[in-house]
């Protein structure tokens, strides 16, 4: 009986942790995407200082998020985003159009993390 209770507890913990991690990813994704949107807006308006601040904020958030999400997602997916993240400042300083495409790539990568974790029917099968 003890074994059964332990196993039921394990299943409950796994489900709870999975749901909690999914919600955490969703919330943090929204925050990261908002910050990136702010970066692109400031860059379009040529407000470089504000855009730089937002890039720094995004980098800080991403570092924290990376540690948290690396428990759930393959690190190769996260490294692609980290690489794009490292380019942002330089692209902003060069006033390159590539900044927007890198931001879009990061947004897509972040969205993909959540989508890959969410148990859609097509993901399960």
Partner 1 sequence: MLIVFFRAIILYALVILSIRLMGKRQIGELQPSELVITILVSNIATLPIEDTTIPMTTGIIPMLTLVSLDVIMSTLTLRSRKLRQIVSGNPKVIISNGVIDQKQMKNLRFSVDDLMESLHDYNIFDISEVQYAIVETTGKISVMQKNDYRSLTPSDIELYSETKNPPQILIDDGVVMHGAIDFLGLDMKFLNDTLRKNNVEVSDVFLMSCDEDKNYKLVKKEDSN
Binding site for partner 1 (CB under 8 A): 3-4, 6-8, 10-11, 14, 18, 70-76
Question: What's the closest the beta carbon of residue 70 comes to partner 1, in angstroms?
Answer: 6
The smaller minimum CB distance to partner 1, of residues 14 and 93, is found at 14
The smaller minimum CB distance to partner 1, of residues 4 and 46, is found at 4
Handedness of CA 55, 57, 61, 66 (dihedral sign): positive
Nearest-5° Cα angle at 108, 47 to 52:
20
The smaller minimum CB distance to partner 1, of residues 50 and 72, is found at 72
Question: What's the closest the beta carbon of residue 22 comes to partner 1, in angstroms?
Answer: 13
Q: Which of 52, 57, 60, 58 is nearest to 94 (CA)?
A: 52
Question: What's the closest the beta carbon of residue 10 comes to partner 1, in angstroms?
Answer: 5
CA distance 4 to 67: 34
């Amino acid at each position: 009986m003890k074994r059964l209770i332990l196993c039921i507890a394990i299943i409950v913990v796994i489900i709870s942790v999975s749901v909690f991690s999914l919600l955490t990813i969703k919330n943090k994704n929204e925050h990261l995407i908002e910050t990136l949107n702010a970066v692109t807006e400031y860059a379009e308006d040529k407000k470089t200082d504000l855009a730089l601040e937002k890039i720094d904020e995004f980098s800080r958030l991403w570092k924290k998020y990376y540690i948290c999400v690396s428990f759930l997602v393959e690190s190769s997916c996260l490294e692609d985003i980290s690489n794009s993240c490292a380019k942002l400042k330089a692209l902003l300083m060069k006033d390159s159009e590539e900044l927007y495409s890198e931001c879009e790539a990061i947004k897509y990568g972040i969205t993909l993390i959540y989508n890959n974790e969410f148990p859609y029917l097509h993901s399960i099968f």
